[in-house]
Amino acid sequence: MTQPQTEQSSTQTPSTEPVIVARDVEKWYDNGFHVLKGVSMTVYKGEVLVVMGPSGSGKSTFIRTFNALEPYQKGSIEVDGITISHDLKNIEAIRQEVGMVFQQFNLFPHLTVLQNVTLAPIWVRRWPKSKAQEVAMQLLERVGILEQAHKFPGQLSGGQQQRVAIARSLAMQPKVMLFDEPTSALDPEMVREVLDVMRGLAKSGMTMVCVTHEVGFAREVADRVVLMDGGCLIEQNTPQAFFNQPREERTKQFLSQIL
């Protein structure tokens, strides 16, 4: 089988400046389950990192530690030079720099699309309303939802809602975006529109960490693909190598199941 030998990584070459540095992160759930068993990973500026793995492998939990949605018990995580601590101010400061897109969109159903996008800039960044709205409209145009700005999330399709969720995160002008299975809850015909937005975002040089099962997206957009299983990081590789000549036996087994 021949693979098209096009340039696989995005147009910008990732720098060597780290945005997220995770060292030996260990986490136990309250019921005693050891979900992360010492995971270390570095995300560089401008890089698109795809995290794959079977369900229950701890990949979602891992990226949710990057913005302290999940606490961890051992190891350290540094985001944009700040180490995550238990201090609330420190956590809030980090969350302002880390955008997150959820599997279930989690738009605020009682606010319009525009209000969803302007909420955080107004209340957290303290931008004047007019500036927040101007930026929000630009972002909504970028994700193709401009006409729906004054509708409520419940009136939009799943794909549209997820695009609004991306715009809402971008409105905070984060240094890095986390995607937690952004297309898993979508109907098949809507997956593409969301992936297109993510492709555009990658091209613009945004640092992205995506947990996804979309192999096509990983091949085309990722700079690096990571496999997690059983709370451990199994393999990190370039997309070509990961999908064509994986080093680890576990990776081959995983790929044989999804390809």
CA atoms of 248 and 259, how far apart (whole Å): 16
Token pair of 112 as six digits: 């319009």
The answer to whether residue 124 forms part of the interface with another protein (CB under 8 A) is yes
Closest distance to another protein from the beta carbon of 6 (Å)? 35
Q: Candidates 22-30, 76-84, 167-175, 231-239: pick the segment binding another protein (CB under 8 A).
A: 167-175
Residue 114 sits at φ, ψ, to 5 deg, of -60, -45
Question: Least separation, in Å, of the C-beta of 22 and another protein?
Answer: 17
Q: What is the Cα–Cα distance from 3 to 157, expressed in whole angstroms?
A: 35
52 binding another protein? (CB under 8 A):
no
Query: Which C-beta is closer to another protein: that of 32 or that of 154?
Result: 154
Q: Which amino acid appears at position 185 of this protein?
A: A
Among the listed residues 118, 115, 121, the one whose alpha carbon sits nearest the alpha carbon of residue 96? 121
Cα dist from 85 to 74, 89, 92, 99, whole Å: 12, 9, 11, 18
Residue from 61, 118, 162, 169 that binds another protein (CB under 8 A)? Answer: 169
Residues binding another protein: number (CB under 8 A): 29
Report in angstroms how near the CB of residue 210 gets to another protein at its nearest.
15
Site of interaction with another protein (CB under 8 A): 67, 69, 88, 92-93, 95-96, 98-100, 102, 104, 106-110, 119-120, 123-124, 152-155, 165, 168-169, 172
